[in-house]
């Protein structure tokens, strides 16, 4: 059972366009929602994160929109650049016993055309 | 400062063989996590060490997987015997504190394991 569903699987955007990646979750106990960016040959790196008590968080060209009632959150990349081409993972933090771990979405391969 | 380092970067082994993956966390990070991504699917949690102790191993697929963390420093993940479905990218991550919101978890570049 996949607890965090991510779409689309792949996305192609023209330079300067807006990239939008969506995620939906099921577990209402999740309390932290990060996005990770992964370039080829590298590990995932934290890009931006949000808590459920906030509906939006913006850092530069990257914005997370969060809809608690719908259990959905999305990443918007404004003025997309070829350097943004990477795989993006949404994630949610839950608690399992005494440990905290991340539950990831399946990833979105973003390609920004020059 | 060195980041999380994983060895090897790639490994191709035959079904039934044994493979050992290694992770060197960032110095001073007590928390070490292993994750796996299979065939372009989601990254799944395998287990969590706090220093040398296993805090949570609920994500380990079966008893063919054995993780250790000697002296609370580097960690190894052994697969014995390897099966075709074990193919994937194995990621290691470390953090200073247990809560991901208090401190960022840093990921290694991953080990791509292919079982043929």
Q: Is the CB of residue A6 less than 8 Å away from at least one CB of chain B?
A: yes
Q: How, if at all, do strands A19-25 and A33-38 pair?
A: unpaired
- What DSSP character marks residue A3? S
- Cβ distance of A93 and B4 shorter than 8 Å: no
**Is the Cα torsion angle A82, A83, A87, A93 positive or negative in sign?**
negative
pLDDT of A97 reads: 47
Percent of chain A with pLDDT over 70: 93
Output the pLDDT for position A29. Answer: 85
Exposure string of A50-87, with b = 16+ CB inside 10 Å and e = fewer, is bebeeeebeeeebbbbbeeeebebbbbbeebeeebbbb
Between CA B73 and CA B83, with CA B79 as vertex, the angle to 5 degrees is 155
What is the nearest CA distance from B95 to chain A, expressed in angstroms? Answer: 11
Q: What is the pLDDT of residue A111?
A: 98
* Structure confidence at residue B85 (pLDDT): 95
pLDDT the model gives residue B103 = 56
CA quadruple B104, A95, B61, B87: dihedral positive or negative? Answer: negative
CB atoms within 10 A of CB A9: 10
Mean pLDDT on B62-72: 93
Q: Which two tokens stand for residue B21?
A: 């993956």
The count of other CB atoms within 10 Å of the CB of residue A96 is 15
Condensed to tens digits (0 to 9), the pLDDT of residues A12-70 reads 999 999 999 999 999 888 888 999 999 998 999 999 999 888 999 999 999 999 999 99
Choose from B23, B42, B49 for mutation: most chain A CBs within 10 A.
B42
Q: Is the CB of residue B105 less than 8 Å from the CB of residue A46? A: yes
- At residue A106, does pLDDT exceed 50? yes
Q: Please state, in angstroms and as integers, the Cα–Cα distance from residue B65 to each residue in A31, B57, B58, B82, following that order.
A: 30, 10, 12, 9
3-state secondary structure of A34: strand
pLDDT of residue A98: 44
Residue B100 has pLDDT above 80, yes or no: no
pLDDT-derived band of residue A2, with 50, 70 and 90 as boundaries? low
Nearest to A101 among B45, B104, B107 (CB): B45
Q: Is the pLDDT of residue A1 over 80?
A: no
Minimal Cα–Cα distance from A4 to chain B, Å?
A: 9
In this prediction, residues B96-102 reach a mean pLDDT of 61
Considering only CB atoms, A100 lies closest to which of B58, B99, B110, namely B99
Cβ of A44 within 8 Å of Cβ of B101? The answer is no
Please judge whether B42 and A106 are an interchain contact, meaning their C-beta atoms are less than 8 angstroms apart. yes
As a whole number of angstroms, the distance between CA A14 and CA B81 comes to 46
Those residues with Cβ within 8 angstroms of residue A68's Cβ, 6 or more apart along the chain or in another chain: A52, A55
pLDDT (tens digit per residue) in B69-85? 988 899 999 999 999 99
CA-nearest of A34, A66, A31 to A47 is A34
Average pLDDT over residues B51-78: 93
Residues of A in contact with B53 (CB under 8 A): none
The pLDDT value given to residue A93:
85
For residue B4, the chain A residue with the least C-alpha distance is: A43
CB contacts, 8 Å: B106 with chain A: 43, 45
Question: What proportion of chain B, given as a percentage, has pLDDT over 90?
Answer: 78
pLDDT tens for residues A88-99? 999 998 765 445
Pairwise CA distance, residues B21 & B4, whole Å: 13
């Amino acid at each position: 059972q996949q607890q965090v569903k991510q779409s689309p699987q792949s996305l192609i955007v023209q330079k300067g366009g807006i990239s939008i990646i969506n995620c939906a979750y099921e577990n209402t106990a999740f309390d932290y929602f990060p996005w990770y960016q992964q370039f080829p040959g590298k590990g995932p790196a934290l890009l931006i994160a949000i808590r459920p008590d906030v509906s939006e968080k913006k850092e530069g060209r990257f914005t997370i929109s969060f809809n608690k009632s719908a259990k959905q959150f999305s990443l918007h990349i404004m003025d997309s650049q070829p350097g943004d081409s990477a795989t993006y993972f949404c994630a949610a933090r839950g608690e399992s016993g005494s440990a905290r771990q991340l539950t990831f979405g399946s990833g979105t391969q973003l390609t920004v055309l020059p | 400062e060195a980041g999380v380092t994983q060895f090897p970067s790639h490994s191709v082994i035959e079904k039934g063989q044994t493979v050992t993956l290694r992770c060197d966390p960032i110095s001073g990070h007590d928390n070490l996590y292993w994750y796996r991504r299979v065939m372009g699917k989601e990254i799944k949690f395998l287990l969590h060490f706090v220093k040398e102790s296993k805090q949570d191993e609920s994500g380990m697929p079966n008893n063919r997987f054995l993780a250790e963390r000697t002296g609370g420093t580097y960690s190894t993940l052994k697969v014995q015997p390897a099966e075709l479905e074990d193919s994937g990218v194995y990621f290691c991550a470390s953090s200073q504190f247990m809560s991901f919101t208090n401190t960022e978890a840093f990921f290694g570049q991953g080990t791509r394991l292919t079982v043929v």
